[in-house]
Amino acid sequence: MTQLRAGSTVGPQHPQIHIVVGPRRHGVGAAPSRRLEKAMSSLTTRARPTGLATATPQRASRSSARHVDKTYPHWFYIPGGLIYRVLFLVPTVFSFYFAFTRWTLFKATFIGFDNFVLFFQEPGLIGSLKNTIIYGFTTSAAKVVLGMLLAVVLSAPIIARGYLRSVTFFPVLVSAVGVGITFQVLLDPFHGVVNAAIKAVTHVDGPGWLTDPHIALLSVAAIDVWKGIGLATLIYIAGIAAIPNEYFEAARVDGATPWQIFRAIILPLSFPATSTVITLSLIGGLRSFDLIWTTTQGGPGFSSDVIASVIYKQYQAGFYGLSTAGNVILFIVVTAIIYPLSRWLNSRETVL
């Protein structure tokens, strides 16, 4: 069932591939389809199974819940529950209260919705909201596209593959603050290496990457992509490795070109990886703060401010109630974007 749908969407444009994707006609048998299911469910734990697969996983999850009940005594939950309550639940509830107060740390005066009204009147807020969305979506899109392409290259049998994979992943391990400060030096418009190189080659002054109000935000987004691409690539490599080899073999037997293999096998069958990358990178991009703060501090002026940096500045200025209200707003914005998106992505995975 699952395979047939995937085949039929691809079918009309690529007739040969249609044959490939419906493996039975080639007599390869049921083995790959079972394997595919296995690979898919391991990647997409949240996918709601349809059709044939419905019965088994549900039974499995119910029995595993009972298994947990039996294995662990109730006191086992106390430490975790306590930590969760003290460090997460209580502060969260408190923050919802303080969001409605004018708070100096010394005293809090209840002022109703004034903080929220003020936050939305803040002239920089609309700009920062726009910047947050631009930042979140460009970094996420770039990570999906570039991560996929890098993963395809790094999955191919090339020389020094392990080394190249490590090199791609390396920036993920460096702290965002370190990356920010390093790039601030590299991208200095007059004394930085990048513009010196541009000048040496083209004899034209390079742009003020972080100081030109029109491109500062995109420069930071590019740094974010450089830093985060390794993780996206890693997820894609896992996603591509999980595609059963039989599909590739069958495609090659049918004489499919590399582009056709990519378009009809790798792209659709690594969709669970795509949805993971989109969700993770979008959440990361929407609440991104550390990289922006260390490179531009939201500047020049307010031109690369995102919601998180606006909130931090309110906090720095001593507007504790206002910044708490900003956090509540950020929480709502991120939820409002991510929740429907992840629902949609999950439903897409199920269709596949």
Q: Which is nearer to other proteins, 167 or 181 (CB)?
A: 181
32-51 b/e with 16+ CB inside 10 Å = b?
Answer: bbeebbebbeebbeebebee
Question: What value, to the nearest 5°, has the Cα angle with vertex 236 and ends 233 and 240?
Answer: 135
- CA-CA-CA-CA torsion sign (120, 292, 154, 186): positive
> Is position 315 an interface residue for other proteins (rule: CB under 8 A)?
yes
In the bound state with other proteins, the residue whose beta carbon lies nearer, of 36 and 330, is 330
Piece in contact with other proteins (CB under 8 A), picked from 6-14, 66-74, 246-254, 321-329: 321-329
Among 83, 87, 145, 332, binds other proteins (CB under 8 A): 87
User: Using CB under 8 A, which of the segments 56-64, 68-76, 84-92, 233-241 binds other proteins?
Assistant: 84-92
Site for other proteins in 89-118 (CB under 8 A): 90-92, 94-95, 97-98, 102-106, 108-109, 118
With binding defined as CB under 8 A, does residue 171 bind other proteins?
Answer: no
179 vs 237, beta carbon nearer other proteins: 179
- CB of residue 282 vs other proteins: minimum separation in angstroms? 14
Binding mask 227-266 for other proteins (x = CB under 8 A): ----------------------------------------
Shortest distance (Å) from residue 217 CB to other proteins: 13
Residue 303 near other proteins by CB under 8 A: yes
Least distance in Å: CB of 259 to other proteins? 39
CA distance 108 to 114: 13
CA distances, 69 to each of 76, 78, 79, 80 (Å): 11, 14, 17, 16
Using CB under 8 A, which residues numbered 263 to 292 contact other proteins?
287-290
What's the min distance (Å) between Cβ of 141 and other proteins? 21
- The half-sphere exposure of 11 on its side-chain side, counting CA atoms within 13 A, is 9
Alpha-carbon distance of 212 to 196, in angstroms, equals 17
Q: Using CB under 8 A, pick the residue from 9, 16, 331, 350 that binds other proteins.
A: 331
Q: Check binding of 293 to other proteins (CB under 8 A).
A: yes
Taking a C-beta distance cutoff of 8 angstroms, is the pair 18, 260 a contact? no
Q: Which of 312, 345, 349, 352 binds other proteins (CB under 8 A)?
A: 312
- Residue 231's closest CA among 186, 184, 284? 284
If the CB atoms of residues 77 and 190 are measured against other proteins, the closer one turns out to be 190
DSSP string of 26-39, one letter each residue: GT--SHHHHHHHHH
CA-to-CA separations, 292 to 27, 217, 308, in angstroms, rounded: 56, 8, 9
* Residue whose token pair is 């790039």: 183
CA dihedral sign of residues 334, 337, 342, 343: positive
Q: Which stretches of the chain bind other proteins, using CB under 8 A?
A: 87-88, 90-92, 94-95, 97-98, 102-106, 108-109, 118, 121-123, 176-177, 188-190, 208, 210-213, 287-290, 293, 297-303, 308, 311-313, 315-320, 322-324, 327-328, 330-331
